[in-house]
Amino acid sequence: MNEKQNQEQQMYFEKDIKEEILEICLQIFPYPQPYPVQIECMKNIINSLTEKQNLLFQSPTGTGKTLVTICSALAYAEKNPNVQVLVLTRTNEQINGFIKEIRKINKYPKINRYSILAGRGQFCLNLDDFKKYFEKQGIQKSKFNKHLTQQCNDRCKKTKCESHQSLSAPDMSIFSGSKCVNITQRVFLEKKEQQGCQCCPHFQIYKKMIKKRKKQNLKSDLHFPLVSQDYNQPFTLPDIEDMKNLFEQQDLGCPFYFNKLATRSAKLVFSTYNYIIKQNILGNIKELFEGEVIVIFDEAHNLPEQAEQEQSIKMQQKYWDSLDSTLKQVQKVFNKGNLSNQNINNLYRNVHNIICKDIEEEASYFKLSLQNKIKDGESTDTESDKSDSQINQNEDNEDNDDVEKPLPKFKHVKYTKQVSQEDQKQSKKKFYQYIQFSSQDLYDKINAIIFYNGQQPENSDENIKKIQKYVFDVKQNKNYTFPEMEEIFEIYQELRRKEVFDFFSNFQSHFLSIKEDCESLQYLFDEKNQKEIKPFCSLFSDKDIVQKFELLNVNDIKQAQSFIDKLTKVFTMLQYLKKVIKVFTEQQKNDSKSKNDAQNHIFVVENNQFYEANPDDLNNLKKFGEQLKLKYIQKIWFFFYRLIKLRKMYNYNEDPIYLQNHYISLLRGEYSPVPILQIGCLSASYLFKKIYKKISISSLILTSGTLEPFELIQKSLALQFQTYSSPHIINSETNLFTQFISYYNDQEISFSMKKLENEDDKNNIFYQSQLAINFITDKFNEYTNQVKQKGGIVIFFKSYSMLQQYSNLIKSTQGNGFYYFVETRDANEFKDRYSFYKQLIQQNKSNCIFLAVNRGKLSEGIDLKDDLCRVVILFGVPYPCLTDPYIVCKRTHAQLYLKESQWYKKETVKIVNQSAGRCIRYKDDWGCIFFLDSQYYSEKNIYQHISKWILEGQKTKMKQNYEWTQNYSQFLQNKATEFNQKDYF
């Protein structure tokens, strides 16, 4: 067979498979007769999936794109058993909405193999108790999630709780669909809780369930319970709320942990964007997906910006404040005077024991892994055998905003169990990764110590050679002899001890020098320097500021590196200090004999002299330990670490104005009077590279009603995509009225900077636009009077400042009985206003006008269907703000792939399409869209990229003013007649 024949055969084969998948998709699809546009969508999605291509799938709201996408992906996964489907939404509420849709797919037999990845804030069964406790403690609401993680970890660590030893694991049958009620267990749990047990009973049950599964060798096919509201009716998929109720009422353990476990065998997984794009959570995702994954991002039009933001780091004033107060506090304690010998010994012993224990643990794990490897090629490192404490450790960052932390680690977990045969392959892979890391780490540490002290340890050459040989041997997979290894471990431990003690013995000097550096850096945040800092906002374009930055030891890589080294050392020491205080105070509390001797103190060794700290009592000491805010030090450390890395990457030695894919800026705005120093990211590709390393993605599908211009997304993510744009299923002729208003009363309406420069022109433009708006709202009022049904109009301004400038004027000149609402930046306030707006319309009390902002809260994520929004007016063109450092740099960055002006205009159109699309939400919805600014039409790059379905709603040629007013009146008249006829029949 020649090559051509081969290709032809391949094409037939692929065509067959695609048809088969389409057939499955049509069977799964919950409605008997999909619209032709929906079938076209399915074909395009299936095409991309079978070719393992990514897809940008644009389809207007109301076309059923989510259902079509999920059905196509599930059909593909049905034919490919190793494929999982991960659907990502922006909010947890949207997950519940999707599940309602998916519930309709009752023909799909394996749909119960699904999971929801959501945080403890959604799933924790102790949430109410925790909330009460946090409120009592005066913890801010915004910090609840962080504290929740902490509380959960604390409770789960109490694994040896005797009170719960006799709890039973849930019946496995529940996980394949049958009903299970465990009343006895519930009574038992409550009784034990009353007895004051502090550990989490739900975690205990979860643990037992894992053990039971392991015993039965059940590795996969963890089926989810299919439930109905009263658990007696035919089963259906639980959403987050159902799941919580089910687990609680039937004592099935913790739904948070269960869902994570279920993800590995799930066919369909729901989660929010956070799980994929938040760096601290991304770290854990690798463990959750084993095969290939189809990743679907819903409403993905802002995905690149969100991904870029996640890659940006902000360093805030509060970090400095916290570092400053921590350093002061430590200094105060250390300056108290000399310690007694007995106290020195006590404390020294404590520190010594803790450090040695850590080092031994680290080395023993290292040794154990190697022994197993040498013996029979088995590793002990498997996911399923992880100890409970490690399970908890992995969750540590789940709900908080900690940064990624490449800080030195002293704490390792012991792995002692052997791996089953089936895990061998995976384990070996992990083992090699770990060995490589450890040997490199070991080698680096030794080198660092040699150079740090300026002198070589005894026999260092020989030791280094041994280690090099060891690293080489491991890589070559050769045989080893034990004595050699023993010797190496001894050296390793010795060197590590030396390194850690060295930190401690030079604590004071490190401490003081870091304090000096921090004080100079604080300059950036000092109110007095505002004037000088201002040019800093223009991205270091001012030479003076650049020089100051250089003086601050950050611009020079070598000096900055030394700053980081110092900060790292202080951080490490404080970590130990914190640990010592914790162990020490707990010991003191438990040991009644030493109670009188409680004035034991913190020590510091400096030039062979011991200095004491003398906090008033044990509680003070404990409090001091708790108050050491290491997280902020870590954040500062990470900021500079990244800065140096970037500087090295781009090899810049001159002003750090713009670092190709990053920028540095000082943010200071109306709502953030304290400046924030940030390293901003300009390319979402960084995050996506990380995601691709963590999960094996077969196809990435981005869906939204407004993804165009496609180029922008493709370039920003640096990925290849197929593209498909589905037409709208509404009838533009009868259900949409689109009008570009460039002139009113023969006067041009343009909000361009140039036109607004002249005060008279400005007043006239505003006056004419006001008349146009009056006409639109008056006619709408007439319509609502005819149909006796109230409705809403949304006016989108290009910015908050424009909204403030014009909102009062618009309100004061309107006397036609509309109720006005103005969008606020405050989320809670906005929520209240929006629900009142909705209430007035839905209860038929008043027509309403919502004055909102493009890119604001009303412009996306809120379903303004039917009467909630019959008219949208775009007031001015929402060009991005040119004083925003992100926009300035993004524009420069975009020149790598687009002409500068193109990016700017395409970015604008994206926002325009998003806001304009608010008023048509499904097939039978109807509405009117007005573009109030001549620039919409005169700027070709804008007009031609406005969504096709919106342009199809035009009924009037551009300039003829009175023609559109007549057509608009006629359109509303038709709608009123239609409504009243429907009502009549």
Q: Which residues bind to ligand SF4, rule: CB under 6 A?
A: 120, 124-126, 152, 155-156, 200, 202-203, 254, 256-257
Q: Which of 202/367 has CB closer to ligand SF4?
A: 202
Q: Which of 48/259 has CB closer to ligand SF4?
A: 259
Which uninterrupted H or E stretch holds 681?
strand 672-681
User: Least CB distance from residue 151 to ligand SF4, whole Å?
Assistant: 6
Given the DSSP bridges, would you call strands 792-797 and 848-853 parallel, antiparallel or unpaired?
parallel
Q: Which of 227/254 has CB closer to ligand SF4?
A: 254
* CA distances for 291 relative to 185, 309, 429, 695, 697, angstroms: 36, 29, 16, 8, 9
Which uninterrupted H or E stretch holds 489?
helix 482-505
Q: Which of 189/613 has CB closer to ligand SF4?
A: 189
Beta carbons of 628 and 325 less than 8 angstroms apart? no
Q: Which of 126/311 has CB closer to ligand SF4?
A: 126
- Residue 363's contacts (CB-CB under 8 Å, 6 or more residues apart) are 489, 492, 493, 496
Beta carbons of 77 and 84 less than 8 angstroms apart? yes
Q: In 816-840, which positions are buried (b, 16+ CB within 10 angstroms) versus exposed (e)?
A: eebbbbbbbeeeeebeebbeebbeb
Q: Which of 256/796 has CB closer to ligand SF4?
A: 256
Write down the residue that tokens 């140039």 correspond to.
754
Ranges of H-type helices in 788-868: 800-813, 827-842
User: Least CB distance from residue 399 to ligand SF4, whole Å?
Assistant: 10
User: Least CB distance from residue 277 to ligand SF4, whole Å?
Assistant: 22
User: Least CB distance from residue 147 to ligand SF4, whole Å?
Assistant: 12
User: Least CB distance from residue 389 to ligand SF4, whole Å?
Assistant: 14
Helix, strand or coil, per DSSP, at residue 343:
helix
User: Least CB distance from residue 108 to ligand SF4, whole Å?
Assistant: 30
Closest CA to 642 of 632, 653, 634: 634
Residue 315, beta-bridge partner list: 677
Q: Output the six-digit token pair for 567.
A: 């900060």
Beta carbons of 291 and 600 less than 8 angstroms apart? no
Closest CA to 108 of 174, 27, 17, 20: 27
User: Least CB distance from residue 282 to ligand SF4, whole Å?
Assistant: 20
CA 793 – CA 817 distance, rounded (Å): 13
User: Least CB distance from residue 770 to ligand SF4, whole Å?
Assistant: 55
Q: Which of 110/131 has CB closer to ligand SF4?
A: 131
Q: Which of 152/282 has CB closer to ligand SF4?
A: 152
Q: Which of 245/418 has CB closer to ligand SF4?
A: 245
User: Least CB distance from residue 224 to ligand SF4, whole Å?
Assistant: 17
* CA distances for 854 relative to 377, 750, 858, 872, 913, angstroms: 61, 17, 8, 12, 10
User: Least CB distance from residue 451 to ligand SF4, whole Å?
Assistant: 45
Q: Which of 120/548 has CB closer to ligand SF4?
A: 120
Helix, strand or coil, per DSSP, at residue 646:
helix
User: Least CB distance from residue 571 to ligand SF4, whole Å?
Assistant: 28
User: Least CB distance from residue 267 to ligand SF4, whole Å?
Assistant: 24
Residue 843 DSSP one-character state: T
CA 518 – CA 522 distance, rounded (Å): 6
Q: Which of 99/200 has CB closer to ligand SF4?
A: 200
Q: Which of 126/807 has CB closer to ligand SF4?
A: 126
Bond preceding residue 885 cis, omega within 30 of 0: no
Q: Which of 120/635 has CB closer to ligand SF4?
A: 120
* CA distances for 612 relative to 471, 602, 630, 734, 774, angstroms: 44, 6, 22, 84, 77
Residue 157, exposed/middle/buried by CB under 10 A (0-12, 13-18, 19+)?
middle
Interior CA angle at 252 toward 249 and 253, to 5°? Answer: 110
User: Least CB distance from residue 156 to ligand SF4, whole Å?
Assistant: 5
User: Least CB distance from residue 200 to ligand SF4, whole Å?
Assistant: 3
User: Least CB distance from residue 149 to ligand SF4, whole Å?
Assistant: 9
Q: Which of 51/241 has CB closer to ligand SF4?
A: 241
The type of residue at 561 is Q
Sign of the CA dihedral running 299, 305, 310, 316: negative
Q: Which of 159/938 has CB closer to ligand SF4?
A: 159
Q: DSSP letter string over 115-181?
A: EEE--HHHH-TTHHHHHHHHHHTT--GGGHHHHHHHHHHHHHH-TT-GGGTTPPPPPGGGGGT----
Q: DSSP letter string over 384-423?
A: TT--HHHHHHHHTTSSS-PPP------------PPPPGGG
